[in-house]
Structure 1
């Protein structure tokens, strides 16, 4: 029997990203191997059609980028702790655990109780996964992080939904608390966030994207090394290849042409010193 799911607000975006990843994983020529996403969608009773068109690659490409950076870190720090802020219904732990980085790393999920309860009901348990049922802005989760073997923090699809002061405060506190660690996040450009903030982004007649108070271009992200104490280096992470020559040409062109920096989304990796 399928489980009825009722999430609202920003938490509901977890279902949208899940559906996009599952669609991609079902394809014979899919770019993302994510059987757990398929299993989750098949276990949930929810009107996914409300989101409109979800047979797209953007969120699968983003997942590949986060997976790649996480795996790179774990190859050097195989027993590190990965902290997934506002993890939603991401299935990153299972994809990375099936990869080539061993099985020593630990995982900390941070999200609101309705989401963590769903995860505990629907996803296979692991003694290497710890759950903090709270907001990422409640810094109490930081006390649960074992820093002995390294820390890699992901904020996939999170910061754009925070107020700018909250988003910058989170980055600043992570840099202060986890020297030697890394943090990766994605953000839309400021113009896109402004459009969403005005309520102008509808994916269908029944679904409007939540407001996005925060955006940042790659050039703005590069300045974090001068703005945030403890940030040692900033990397503009390249987008992985998707499916199709047109998409890959667009992704490659956006990152090779500096004039496009103000209009493209950013994938940013911070090194804390």
Structure 2
């Protein structure tokens, strides 16, 4: 068993949720690598008081998988850049999903995460790592955009200041023409709450502040405000399990009630308020 002292809570919670979901008989995600990784960690996850049916994070992971598969189906030799990857296991899910063996993978994170990943996860000649801050844009020099670039920022941007998150989006749009970038954001109310740290601590405890979010209208305006962004797409959640995730969200797609329902779900499970895919100019 490996001690996880260097890992942030955000990485631990997402790993636990995916592994717990993958263990279920009625699982919505197949993620044996997450199970193996979780079992190798020496940590008491009970302190998070996580629900046994916390499927939102598994659905978020599936949404990112589906978007990456769509891009790789057209650009089979593309590089997937996983920003702030934490203990995600997306590479192995995609490798098992029949998208070919030509795509490359770049994991970008800070040294404690990278060191633990290198100790606990299997290596692949198609995978490489970059140990530095996402906001140090020199990592972009390591990415060849010729065969396509798909950038994931799963559970990352909300923890940045607005100028930092928007600066990252702008630089990606500039450096990777023809590429795509996917990210998720909590409800705008989360960012407003983060502006009041005392109230945040009262309501959210010691969970890290999430000062960045955008409304649906603000997201749509990225086409006009960020050079190089040619399209902004709302990504629907995959179908889940139960009356909320399987019935209400899936069957209201395209109806006026869907966005208010997504916002309500996001207020209760702040990881899935909006899933956004940006397409960059060619």
What TM-score comes out, normalization by structure 1 length?
0.92
Tell me if structure 2 keeps the 8 A contact 1:18–1:89: yes
Q: Counterpart of 1:266?
A: 274
What are structure 1's unaligned runs of at least 5 residues? none
- Provide the C-alpha distance between the structure 1 equivalents of 2:92 and 2:136, rounded to a whole number of angstroms: 26
- Following TM superposition, by how much is the alpha carbon of 1:46 offset from its aligned partner in structure 2, in angstroms? 1.1
- Following TM superposition, by how much is the alpha carbon of 1:216 offset from its aligned partner in structure 2, in angstroms? 1.5
- 1:95-244 → structure 2 map (5 Å cutoff): 95-196=93-194, 198=197, 199-200=200-201, 208-244=206-242
- Provide the C-alpha distance between the structure 2 equivalents of 1:131 and 1:138, rounded to a whole number of angstroms: 14
Pair 1:175–1:236, CA change in 2 (3 A): same
Q: Counterpart of 2:78?
A: 80
SS in 2 for 1:268: strand
Tell me if structure 2 keeps the 8 A contact 1:31–1:60: yes
- 1:59-70 → structure 2 map (5 Å cutoff): 59-70=57-68
Tell me if structure 1 keeps the 8 A contact 2:22–2:28: yes
Tell me if structure 1 keeps the 8 A contact 2:190–2:211: no
Q: Counterpart of 1:42?
A: 39
Q: Which moved more, 1:54-63 or 1:22-31?
A: 54-63
Tell me if structure 2 keeps the 8 A contact 1:84–1:153: yes
- Provide the C-alpha distance between the structure 2 equivalents of 1:158 and 1:83, rounded to a whole number of angstroms: 13
Tell me if structure 2 keeps the 8 A contact 1:14–1:88: yes
- Provide the C-alpha distance between the structure 2 equivalents of 1:254 and 1:106, rounded to a whole number of angstroms: 33
Q: Counterpart of 1:14?
A: 11
Deviations 1:22-72 (A, max 9, x none): 000000100000000000010000121111114210100000000000000
- Provide the C-alpha distance between the structure 2 equivalents of 1:202 and 1:67, rounded to a whole number of angstroms: 32
- Following TM superposition, by how much is the alpha carbon of 1:262 offset from its aligned partner in structure 2, in angstroms? 6.3
What TM-score comes out, normalization by structure 2 length?
0.90
Tell me if structure 1 keeps the 8 A contact 2:77–2:104: yes
Tell me if structure 2 keeps the 8 A contact 1:202–1:208: no
- Following TM superposition, by how much is the alpha carbon of 1:192 offset from its aligned partner in structure 2, in angstroms? 2.2
SS in 1 for 2:144: coil
- Provide the C-alpha distance between the structure 1 equivalents of 2:77 and 2:153, rounded to a whole number of angstroms: 20
Pair 1:54–1:89, CA change in 2 (3 A): farther
Tell me if structure 2 keeps the 8 A contact 1:238–1:255: no
Q: Counterpart of 2:255?
A: 256
What are structure 2's unaligned runs of at least 5 residues? 267-272
Deviations 1:193-228 (A, max 9, x none): 33355324767xxx6321001012222211111110
SS in 1 for 2:147: coil
Q: Which moved more, 1:65-74 or 1:253-262?
A: 253-262
SS in 1 for 2:184: strand
